[in-house]
Amino acid sequence: MSSILLKSAKILDTESSHHLQTKDILVENGEITKIEDSIESADKIINRENLHVSNGFFDSSVSFGEPGFEERETLANGVTTARRSGFTSFLLNPNLNPVTDTNSAVKFLQQQIDTQLINIKPLGALTKSFDGKNLAELYDMKMAGAVGFYDFKKPIADANLFKIALQYVKSFDGLLFSFPQDKSIAGKAQVNEDEFTTYIGLKGIPNLAEELQIARDLYILEYTGGKLHIPNVSTKASVQLIKKAKAKGLNLTCSVALPHLFFTSNKLETFDSKYKILPPLRTKEDSKALTKAVKDRIIDMVTCDHEPMDEEHKELEFENASYGSIGLESAFSVMNTLFGIEKASELLSKPKTNFGLKTSKIEVNQRADLSLFDPNSEYIFQKQHLISKSKNSMFIGESLKGKVFGSIYNDSFYEN
């Protein structure tokens, strides 16, 4: 029998009768068997200063590189990165090579995932090879385990195709993701269109490009019914569109990426490619509106939008560099810095139920699915804190609050 004992852990779980209490927690063979004021012995004892524990962290947008882009990230190292960063479950984007767009591709990926000590659910592509023209094997991928369908950060330009896809997936309770950008408006611009980016001479993407796509998608969703998730919402007006759609009772969720809450386009002053992401960093006004929408629960979830990119594609002049930033290692600290520990732990654990992932309370006889951390530790986030194979983090050099000690999932423990 393997056992893990957490000593003097403050519990953060609003569904638990022990919420905000400091207790000893015993995990045996992947199950919580005791929660008491004092427990004496176990095979492994974790006794950390200011130890806090919550439900295992979850993220709705994580990219790795295997298969096809192993130079960016492998599955094994990606899982280690996630687990040591407190994550016990997440959705894996289909932007691999080959693209995850068939039943066999999902099955292959799931077989590789099942060898890891983590709960990963794959997303399938919405169209074949992300071509935006031909629907992929949606039903077959759903049967193989895909929890949703998403052409990763590639908008669906064809409105009729999007309508047909929403109608089709209703028959098997499928979930569509739609990236909010109208390419005909965005053109080849790579940053936000605002006073600052105009001043430094960069051609910008107007907010209209996002808002027009969202408005179109919401009109179609109202017409067809079905389920829709809008990832990476990034403008003030987008929030208002989503708020009105939810008031109508549409089956709709959305997310915002942490960089859009923490940074603004002013960071582009040095033309540093680590700040090149999609959607682009927006204005302070947008960032404030997004943060308020998270607090008001108009935005359902916050994602670290973890997107590894190798130096060959990232360490280039700004206009030639690839989009993307990694975020798993810094996610808890950034969220804790922005929202405080109770809201951060809620945002990091509760959204998994939106995608049909099981959650367990911090109670006796429940499966162990736990994240361990100190919410008060302050530090400067540095390259040395990165576990990912790729190092393209825009949070390097930022003052953050809160450090993760590790995670327990079933009977496995990953420790920092």
Query: Which residue numbers are catalytic?
Result: 305
Of the candidates 407, 412, 414, which has an alpha carbon nearest to the alpha carbon of residue 29? 412
Question: What is the C-alpha separation between 102 and 208, in angstroms, rounded?
Answer: 34
Question: What is the C-alpha separation between 361 and 103, in angstroms, rounded?
Answer: 33
The single-letter code of the amino acid at 272 is: D
> Given the structure tokens 């989009």, which residue do they identify?
323
Q: Which helix (H) or strand (E) holds 347?
A: helix 341-349
Q: Which helix (H) or strand (E) holds 227?
A: strand 227-230
CB 189 within 8 A of CB 204: yes
Three-class SS of residue 264? coil
CB 109 within 8 A of CB 122: yes
Beta pairing class for 44-46 and 3-12: parallel
Q: For 105-157, list the strands marked E by DSSP.
A: 119-122
Three-class SS of residue 130? helix
Q: Which helix (H) or strand (E) holds 196?
A: helix 195-199
CB 322 within 8 A of CB 311: no
